[in-house]
Structure 1
Amino acid sequence: MEHRHKQFRSPVKAHVPQKVDTRLLFTISVNLLNCSTDKPCAGPFGKRFAASMNSISFVTPPSLDILQAYYYGVAGVFERNFPHKPPNEFNYTAENLPANLLTPSLGTEVRVLEYNASVEIMVVKIAIQVVKSFYVVGWGSGNFDPNNDPSRYNLVDPLKETTVEVPHNGWAAIRFRADNFFFRVDHKT
Structure 2
Amino acid sequence: MEWLIPVGIVVVLLVVVGIYLWATYNSLVQLGVRVDEAWSDITVQLKRRADLVPNLIETVKGYASHEKAVFENVTRARAETLQAASPRSAGAAEGHLEQALKSLFAVAEAYPQLQASQNYLELQKDLVDTEDKIQASRRFYNGGVRDLNTKIKVFPNNMFARGLGFTEREFFEVIDGAAISEPPRVQF
TM-score by structure 2 length? 0.21
Choose between structure 1 and 2: higher helix proportion.
2
**Larger RCO of the pair (alpha carbons < 8 Å, separation 6+):** 2
